Structure 1
Amino acid sequence: MLPAPGGSHRARRAKWMAPYGRWVAWPSAAGGLWPCVSKPSIARQQGGPGENNVKIVADQNIPFVAECLASVGQVTVLPGRRITRDALADAEALLVRSITPVNAALLDGTPVRFVATATIGTDHVDTAYLASRGIGFASAPGSNADSVAEWLIAALLAMGKKHRLTLAGRRIGIIGVGNVGRRVEARCRALGMEPILNDPPLERQTGDAKYRPLAEALACDFVTLHVPLTREGPDATYHLADARFFDAIKPGAFFINSARGAVHDTAALKHARATGRIAGYVLDVWENEPRVDPDLLRKAELSTPHVAGYAFDGKVRGMIMIYRALCEHFGIEPRHEESDFLPPPDVPEIRIDAPPADEQAAIHDIVQQVYAVNRDDFNMREILLLEEDRRGPWFDDLRKNYPFRREFHNTRIVVPAACDTLAAKLAGIGFTVVRDTP
């Protein structure tokens, strides 16, 4: 069991040094070690004067942000929940994640001229206010879409094993078919599932008949949400999954949310589970984060601390996207690429020696070697052992110190020549597949 945040056993032991960064050992649920990455060898002195003179305040959990921006100006890094107006008294640029609300209350009276969020979603940013003030804005759309889709696949495979469900032939309702939803669709098809797509804005925009009514998506065996959080307009998603939503869902379905916590109504979700309307739910996002409803957590099939998009590739990709946007805004030539910050994968290759008797079980075991979603669930449930005032800090700490995880494509799967369908499925969910020749 991991020690609680702030405990006396927080020291991490260095595992080994590499040119790309210092790898650090975390205790795992199984008693082993998980690697995570700290600063790369190209790091410069944090907060030191750069060749340019832009004053920047950034969330400390954006990976390598100080190192990457050292040549752009002076970088001050802070916890996202501690970025205040006073902290921006001299700042010209602000770089945040989803936990920092960016609005008039934060920015009025500050010299901030550019804001960027290293996230897909922008519901935490008052973009209308920024536009009215002439403040530049950028986000990172699609940066972690592969990571979220891979989280979903890992969760489906874990659910399949837990409940002895064959995923092939099952229907999955995908609500929201943007950067993430499209990737989820492709990966689910690769596993032999039948996706039913629901996206009213895209349906109106394209007229494509592949976008189906919400009722059809809710009639599936699994229902997964991949929508932005919006509170106004005909397609508002705040509490989209409310009592009416669950009344209309297929009895015995599984509900999954990795979009935003407020897209589901916690009370309605708990009621749907308590009455047996749904068979279970899997959550990566929670209303009122970081204060997680303990009863909702306790009864979840799988629970993770808003880390579906936390594969290291996506985090670095998002950082580079906003770094380049900042450089463009201030007329500075960018110097860095994603590859500057990406170390080798922890699992570079997996070999399959013979055709497996159960392909789904084999895929589950392969995915577990690259991303064991159950480990995130194990650590998330430590919240239930803590006093109420320590639960929020624990949630934040899990995100801040998230173990190193890479996207599937970084791992080569060597597959025997006789395993055509297995090779196609593994490639379809994102792995790099190589055929083993005699």
Structure 2
Amino acid sequence: MKIIADENIPCVKEAFASLGEVTLLPGRSMQPEQLRDADILLVRSVTAVDQALLEYSSVRFVGSATIGFDHVDRAYLQQQGIGFATAPGCNATSAAEYVVSALLVLAERKDFALAGKTVGIIGCGNVGSRVRKKLAALGMRCVVNDPPLQAQGGHDDFVSLDEVLQADVITVHVPYTREGDYPTHHLFDEVLLRQLPPGALFINTSRGAVTDNRALDALLAERDDLSVVLDVWEGEPAINTSLLQRVDLGTPHIAGYSLDGKLRGTEMIYRSASDWFGHSGCWSAADYLPAGSVVEHSESGVTTMLRAAVFSVYDVRADDARLRAMLDLPPGEQSAYFDRLRKEYPVRREFSATSVLVDDADSECESILRGLGFPVVVSA
């Protein structure tokens, strides 16, 4: 079989070699003529997969190494009998750890304690549920709004959007949709953004167009009491640089970019493709992950030690600094730079790959670290 794959899907050539000949292409510029004799197409969210791309191809299976699928015309694929799979939850842990790092940075920068703060989580699926667990470990009170999940029943702890908007921290983890009962396009429009309470911290790691970027830019020009963390932007890679200058932390759509999450996504679409074509999948992401590490922190105080442990694995400030370097470039070079940051992203592991040595007397710190996902080794 002939396989066309986005060049930025990690280990895709190694994984799919058992299924056929793999050709790597830039995902953002894939053209129909490149797919004419392809059997399998493997993409990320930067590739629009629709009739225009596939009409004259022989593609029989599409795999997207992403948790979302708003870039794919699923109705067309179904109509044509083309198999389709995504990688739901593959980078959920990474995205949740991004939120933890961002909160620890801003708590230090603005001198406030996270414990006791209320966080409103909008969307409690793969990512939101992990965010909830980790922030609860930090002592934060979590309230959740997720109308689609609430409609499925089985939970009774959901709150209204109005109640979420009263929280100290509001973090968004929804899929991007324009249709249906719960569209999320510009969910945070000018009206909703202006309801953010004084001193609120707003985080969006879902999709750029869930927030009206122009409205947010205008709001931040008026209100310096708000804090904002954005990992996703409307119009990527041509983002609103005025908004970038106003947010507290800005990153190039990399919240879910841990090596663990990326390889997990590759393995998930590999296994789906293998099943579709009746092959036994033998490739495992675990074989390509480097060995974990062990760190010992002697810092005094729970908060100081937590920061040291988290930042030793992932410090969001590094990604923020790299993106802000875009502001020094001519406008014509900024989009390519945004894409390059994503393509050349440094290796980042998840908390679970780093064991932390703690003193046996520090039970509070041990409990929090375990709640965040760190393996903990207690020293005698």
Cα distance in structure 2, aligned partners of 1:230 and 1:423: 40
Q: In the comparison of the two structures, how many residue pairs are matched? A: 380
Q: Give the counterpart letter for 1:379 in structure 2.
A: R
Q: Which residue of 2 aligns with 1:263?
A: 210
Q: Which residue of 2 aligns with 1:21?
A: none
Instruction: Give the ranges of 4+ consecutive aligned residues of structure 1 lying more than 2 Å apart after TM superposition.
Output: none
> Is the counterpart of residue 380 in structure 1 residue 317 in structure 2?
no
Q: Give the counterpart letter for 1:422 in structure 2.
A: C
> Is the counterpart of residue 128 in structure 1 residue 75 in structure 2?
yes
Question: Partner of 1:335: helix, strand, or coil?
Answer: coil
> Is the counterpart of residue 343 in structure 1 residue 286 in structure 2?
no
> Is the counterpart of residue 410 in structure 1 residue 360 in structure 2?
no
Counterparts of 1:254-403 in structure 2 under 5 Å? 254-276=201-223, 279-345=226-292, 348-353=293-298, 356-357=300-301, 359-403=302-346
Q: Give the counterpart letter for 1:255 in structure 2.
A: F
Structure 1: stretches of 5+ with no match in the other structure: 1-53
Q: Which residue of 1 aligns with 2:156?
A: 209
Choose the corresponding residue for 1:420, options 360, 363, 368: 363
Q: Which residue of 2 aligns with 1:117?
A: 64
TM-score using structure 2 length: 0.98
Cα distance in structure 2, aligned partners of 1:198 and 1:218: 10
Report how far residue 389 of structure 1 moved.
1.1
Cα distance in structure 2, aligned partners of 1:278 and 1:199: 27
Counterparts of 1:239-258 in structure 2 under 5 Å? 239-258=186-205
Q: Which residue of 1 aligns with 2:8?
A: 61
Stretch deviating more after TM superposition (377-386 or 271-280): 271-280
Identity, % of aligned pairs?
A: 46
TM-score using structure 1 length: 0.85
Cα distance in structure 1, aligned partners of 2:239 and 2:324: 11
Report how far residue 209 of structure 1 moved.
2.5
Structure 2: stretches of 5+ with no match in the other structure: none
Cα distance in structure 2, aligned partners of 1:278 and 1:332: 56
Report how far residue 277 of structure 1 moved.
7.3
Q: Which residue of 2 aligns with 1:162?
A: 109
CA contact (8 A) 2:146 2:158 kept: yes
Report how far residue 55 of structure 1 moved.
0.7
Q: Give the counterpart letter for 2:126 in structure 1.
A: N
Q: Show CA shifts across 1:77-127 (max 9, x none).
A: 001012110110110110000000001111111101100100001110111
Cα distance in structure 1, aligned partners of 2:331 and 2:218: 23
Report how far residue 136 of structure 1 moved.
0.3
CA contact (8 A) 1:327 1:334 kept: yes
Stretch deviating more after TM superposition (204-213 or 371-380): 204-213
Report how far residue 278 of structure 1 moved.
5.2
> Is the counterpart of residue 79 in structure 1 residue 63 in structure 2?
no
Choose the corresponding residue for 1:138, options 76, 80, 85: 85
Cα distance in structure 2, aligned partners of 1:147 and 1:278: 28
Report how far residue 417 of structure 1 moved.
0.9
Question: Partner of 2:13: helix, strand, or coil?
Answer: helix
Report how far residue 251 of structure 1 moved.
1.9
Q: Give the counterpart letter for 2:77 in structure 1.
A: L
Report how far residue 390 of structure 1 moved.
0.6
Cα distance in structure 1, aligned partners of 2:334 and 2:240: 10
Cα distance in structure 1, aligned partners of 2:159 and 2:101: 26
CA contact (8 A) 1:272 1:278 kept: no
Report how far residue 234 of structure 1 moved.
2.0
Q: Show CA shifts across 1:160-217 (max 9, x none).
A: 1110110000011100000000000000000000111000011111163211000111
CA contact (8 A) 2:298 2:305 kept: no
Question: Partner of 1:349: helix, strand, or coil?
Answer: strand
Q: Give the counterpart letter for 1:389 in structure 2.
A: G
Q: Give the counterpart letter for 2:61 in structure 1.
A: F
Report how far residue 247 of structure 1 moved.
2.3
Q: Show CA shifts across 1:336-379 (max 9, x none).
A: 1121211124xx1111346x23x222211211111121110110
Question: Partner of 2:201: helix, strand, or coil?
Answer: strand
Change (3 A) 1:202 1:278: farther
> Is the counterpart of residue 173 in structure 1 residue 116 in structure 2?
no
Q: Give the counterpart letter for 1:220 in structure 2.
A: A
Cα distance in structure 2, aligned partners of 1:289 and 1:339: 31
Cα distance in structure 2, aligned partners of 1:67 and 1:170: 45
Q: Which residue of 2 aligns with 1:231?
A: 178
